[in-house]
Structure 1
């Protein structure tokens, strides 16, 4: 890999990042232009700063010794010694002051532009994550995704301000000072820059190693974040099963490896810094040795040599800074790669070019020879065909793993069928935009997911245009209004994350209220009563009965007593729809459904008898 290619790798994916982020960068064009003008002003003033030293040095040590100095500016030569010293002293302060102002505006302007760009990128990244399909999330850990959105973008923001922009300024200063050095004395300039190829070789060699270590460290940090998020998110189960030590061991192992990788990166950065210092000292010694010879032969003034050495030292400042910030730049490169890799992920489910917003749906649902597999060769659904009329309530039953929930995820277009077609109101659902399709479906899941927000917000999330009356009506329909009023702040009570401050029945009734406020023509209920006690179960069932009136309802349930209330029942087994019909028809068929129903009835009778004996 040549140096140009290596440089492109080190500075956060510079070619790829600039190309990808150019639309956001162009929005800050005016601010970047002003900052660039301030930067050029700072560079010009920095190049002028050493010149007063030349005049002072030559005036004091050459003219005082009886020599003659030809000043490049005639006015300087006409001044007496005291006036020249005063003028030079004022010039040093003035140049430093004006350069400081230019540097301030340059730094602030570039930092503001960089932070604006990266803040917008973080929003774009988060929005992009919302569009990715479930298949992506099934193979990616949520903690690592969180780290990319928050920490990786923060790394880029930090490096833009503390390393990349200063490095850009110093590289321009390097070019300017090299030009001045050749103008002062080409022979010394060539001698001073002789070691530059050695520097670039050692820099790029170590840079590759630092970047590789930094990338491993970022991946390790992603794994740590994922482990922490996983254990904290399931802390109840972790403590119940006494898994604290196991998760702590995994996290500690990852943490120790991250430490080793971080130390290794620091050692490589320190090695690079020391290399640069030795090369700079060697270059300075060579110039001083040759420059002194030229001064002794009157081919160069002492002031010229002093200024030249100052320029040489300042010319190598970007070199030292590059070594100093190489660890940050390498981390930023790894963070940039992770961000772009995420942005490059294309959703499996998307709006087709010809897709249109769905009209108000009646709710007629048809599956036509639908088959699906999460992984090739492992079919979950096989040749499923059925038709459900608007407003009909269908119970989908069968043993775990038979494909019941998968069937409804296809209806929601969370996945696409491998073959076959799904239609609503005789239209292929792919003809509709995703948003217009999903907003006409309400979902109540077994795991009632609530957000760390107020009760009011959790219900209103179901419909963006919901009014106060809508929220209260939905809560009443879900049998939730009474217990909500008994909460500390009523509807304004802030819930814990995932609703952990509520009981299972309360969480489920809030989920029903959120589904009710949507007033969608299609309702999907996935094991809505599992894990509830009898009292809460009855409250939830009553709410679901009211919610499903007039809606096409798909009820996934193991409790066949509840399934028997449906208008129609689908019995699934190993991804196939093996029986269908009303409860009475399936009982008369006396096959799989009937056998399972009788088994559950026997278990209920046995449980009731046991409870009666215990109460006696």
Structure 2
């Protein structure tokens, strides 16, 4: 079911909920497709726990009904008949009833809690698993904290809906059945009057539900905004401190918190309208019953015990009825988040499944762009009409000013995004027809924005090839100059890097990332500003390993350092999303004004050796 169909169904559900009895409200909720899907997908794996909880609910309901019944017996036997000897037996029965109810409530709480935690964990895992498989464009202009915040909030909302309908409401219905039985037994006429009056209270719930739905729609967005601003401030604390922006950061956070607070107050105020309505209705019914009971007791021979049994059952039934009257309201508060959750879960993976498409064998590493164009959203084209070829085992450098389209090329090669026009070929095959897993198995990326997982240096390098031996990991670490700093650490390669690599410097993290890519041993390796944080000595050593002809792989290098660029076989110059020129360093330094401008070269400057000759000098 798509988003529009879900929303149409929801409107029908809200409309149908107005004026319904509690039982019909629950039935209507269960026929609302996302609700039915929630229950069908998430409750069966926990059926043993659920049945245990249901048995506890039955026991608690029976004990609740027995509580009202024993009041009638107690009043008539002890206070009307003045049977003092029966007091001991009735007292023991009351203790037993409450003991059973206490144990049943405890067991039900435990089982419900286990089910809730399991469902929340499963829904969080499903959402996160789908999120990390999104097309990278889905993450554009979105703060990471917003995604995580929504995943957590949505999962809790889903679990709340499931348990409201299948546990809390079922428990309340069972208690009402038990208490209604006592009420009918004590006074059928007054029971009928109560059943007639109570549904009138539900008529007022419809307007409250509609208003609450509108208010709840933006609550998750506001909660995500607060988390986003807070996370952003922590991540950028050095900038905040250096520019003395503490007041600005605090003001931004306070503004977001204030918005969420005002929305929360509106939701609570609207939701709270249920209490005075129910209290007034309940008081009206009790007042009527007191007058009716006094007439029946004084004039028609009814016993005080019957009055006591009925009023006790009615008072005990009041809270379950009140909760059932709120079922529609409570569900509507959560359904916005549930819909967002299923929008996320149902989002298709990146155009094709990772395993769908052709498979590659013996990849040589040639890449060809044919009239490729790409645009981010409604912005101006990032690439248009780009065509070039990278030969197998060629060392290619890509240069250009900021915004020229360099990183877009990397994203397209890795199929993190799909071109709007044209095609990209890997070994002569259109990569849109090759399985994602095969494309990414054969291309290794080293990005400027290095990401390391929490764990050891060795663990992070091993991510390049999980089945690699320790010797292979150590060899990759040597080539990337990781060993040169890791050997000075107490635990060497087994040193923990901390969250996002915070225990390492920027240059150390880049070397670990380079080692990870080298270990992957892919036919194509892409360096996207991968040496920007390295000093000159380490950069020369790393690029020597990258450009070494002994490694039979294609290298695409995006860089701003001339020392790196000059070592390439060929250089592509991009400007404003178009391929402006290509050639060796010598050729471009001679004829390309853009190239000279990027590296501040004079047209008459002596031409430095290019390509292979420079690599030899670097090696020396």
TM-score under structure 1 normalisation? 0.85
For the residues of structure 1 that align with 2:108 and 2:58, how far apart are their CA atoms?
A: 9
Counterpart of 2:180?
178
Q: Deviations over 1:329-387 (max 9, x none)?
A: 66544443443343243344432885244434221212222221112573222222222
Shift of 1:63: 4.8
Say if 1:376 and 1:219 are closer, same or farther in 2 by CA, change over 3 A. closer
Counterpart of 2:496?
494
Say if 1:602 and 1:419 are closer, same or farther in 2 by CA, change over 3 A. closer
For the residues of structure 1 that align with 2:234 and 2:73, how far apart are their CA atoms?
A: 68
Describe the SS at the equivalent of 2:365: coil
Segment of structure 1 superposing worse, 44-53 or 268-277:
268-277
Equivalences for 1:254-265 in 2 at 5 Å? Answer: 254-265=256-267
Shift of 1:83: 6.0
Describe the SS at the equivalent of 1:524: strand
Describe the SS at the equivalent of 1:355: coil
1:59 aligns with 2:77: yes
For the residues of structure 1 that align with 2:258 and 2:28, how far apart are their CA atoms?
A: 26
Segment of structure 1 superposing worse, 540-549 or 267-276:
540-549
Counterpart of 1:445?
447
Counterpart of 2:44?
26
For the residues of structure 1 that align with 2:262 and 2:179, how far apart are their CA atoms?
A: 40
Contact map agreement 1:152 1:335 (CA 8 A) in 2? yes
Counterpart of 1:2?
15
Describe the SS at the equivalent of 2:381: strand
For the residues of structure 2 that align with 1:92 and 1:581, how far apart are their CA atoms?
A: 95
Equivalences for 1:182-331 in 2 at 5 Å? Answer: 182-298=184-300, 300-321=302-323
For the residues of structure 2 that align with 1:339 and 1:467, how far apart are their CA atoms?
A: 41
Shift of 1:11: 7.6
Say if 1:234 and 1:361 are closer, same or farther in 2 by CA, change over 3 A. farther
Say if 1:599 and 1:111 are closer, same or farther in 2 by CA, change over 3 A. closer
Say if 1:247 and 1:349 are closer, same or farther in 2 by CA, change over 3 A. farther
Contact map agreement 1:459 1:517 (CA 8 A) in 2? yes
For the residues of structure 2 that align with 1:57 and 1:270, how far apart are their CA atoms?
A: 37
Equivalences for 1:559-578 in 2 at 5 Å? Answer: 559-578=561-580
Task: Select the residue among 55, 69, 93 that pairs with 1:37.
Answer: 55
Say if 1:55 and 1:554 are closer, same or farther in 2 by CA, change over 3 A. same
Equivalences for 1:143-154 in 2 at 5 Å? Answer: 143-154=145-156
Counterpart of 1:76?
none
Aligned length: 588
Describe the SS at the equivalent of 2:369: strand
Say if 1:126 and 1:216 are closer, same or farther in 2 by CA, change over 3 A. same
Task: Select the residue among 549, 552, 557 that pairs with 1:550.
Answer: 552
Segment of structure 1 superposing worse, 344-353 or 318-327:
318-327
Contact map agreement 2:154 2:341 (CA 8 A) in 1? yes
Equivalences for 1:524-535 in 2 at 5 Å? Answer: 524-530=526-532, 532-535=534-537
- Gap runs ≥5 in structure 2: 1-13, 607-620
Shift of 1:251: 0.6
Q: Deviations over 1:111-130 (max 9, x none)?
A: 32232222111111111111
Contact map agreement 1:349 1:415 (CA 8 A) in 2? no
Q: Deviations over 1:575-616 (max 9, x none)?
A: 22232334445456x2446644773368999xxxxxxxxxxx
For the residues of structure 2 that align with 1:466 and 1:204, how far apart are their CA atoms?
A: 62
Shift of 1:299: 5.5
Contact map agreement 1:13 1:337 (CA 8 A) in 2? no
Shift of 1:287: 1.1
TM-score under structure 2 normalisation? 0.85
Q: Deviations over 1:540-578 (max 9, x none)?
A: 433433499321111112334532321222222222223
Describe the SS at the equivalent of 1:600: coil
Counterpart of 1:470?
472
Counterpart of 1:514?
516
For the residues of structure 1 that align with 2:372 and 2:389, how far apart are their CA atoms?
A: 12
Describe the SS at the equivalent of 2:218: helix
Contact map agreement 2:396 2:569 (CA 8 A) in 1? yes
Segment of structure 1 superposing worse, 468-477 or 50-59:
50-59
Counterpart of 1:402?
404
Say if 1:556 and 1:463 are closer, same or farther in 2 by CA, change over 3 A. same
- Gap runs ≥5 in structure 1: 65-80, 606-616
Describe the SS at the equivalent of 2:601: helix
Shift of 1:40: 2.3
Say if 1:494 and 1:586 are closer, same or farther in 2 by CA, change over 3 A. same
Counterpart of 1:77?
none
Contact map agreement 1:371 1:382 (CA 8 A) in 2? yes
Say if 1:403 and 1:603 are closer, same or farther in 2 by CA, change over 3 A. farther
1:392 aligns with 2:394: yes
Task: Select the residue among 381, 384, 388 that pairs with 2:383.
Answer: 381
Counterpart of 2:94?
92
Say if 1:548 and 1:528 are closer, same or farther in 2 by CA, change over 3 A. farther
For the residues of structure 2 that align with 1:10 and 1:601, how far apart are their CA atoms?
A: 77
Describe the SS at the equivalent of 1:316: helix
For the residues of structure 1 that align with 2:605 and 2:61, how far apart are their CA atoms?
A: 86
Describe the SS at the equivalent of 1:415: coil
